[in-house]
Amino acid sequence: MPKKEHKVILARQADKMLLLHTEFLARVSTIAARKLLADFQKAMRLLANNPFQFPFADEIDVPGILPETYRKCLFSERYKALYLVENNKVYIDVIIDCRQENIGLF
């Protein structure tokens, strides 16, 4: 029986975050910006194939969000996608540059 893929859905907020990270990198190096996007595409394929291979994002401490809700997928050496899985869908809600302080993620 073939393995069923999950549908990966990028939230508007996460899309904007990815765009900002890419624009910032492009000012320094277009090669680095292209690599970020290519690595993000690879991460999306990994999430579609098996989103459960990545750990829970235990570092999230937001009232109302249970610790085992969001998972994290690290990509391109310093970026992190926070996502949750519901049925056969993966919802990417946030994309973070791990070098920055991330206050007010949600």
Q: What is the mean pLDDT of residues 52-62?
A: 85
pTM, two decimals, is 0.87
Contacts of 95 (CB under 8 A, 6+ apart): 14, 17, 18, 21, 40, 79, 80, 81, 82
Instruction: Please give the single-letter amino acid code of residue 54.
Output: F
pLDDT of amino acid 2: 55
- pLDDT, mean of residues 18-47: 97
Of residues 99 and 25, which shows the higher confidence score?
25
CATH node for 7-97? 3.30.2310.20
Residue 103: its pLDDT value, please?
A: 46
| Residue 31: predicted pLDDT | 97
What local confidence, expressed as pLDDT, does residue 105 receive? 54
Q: In whole angstroms, what is the distance from residue 71 CA to residue 102 CA? A: 16
Contact by Cβ (8 Å): 90, 48: yes
Domain segments of the chain as ranges: 7-97
Written as six digits, the tokens of 73 are 């997928």
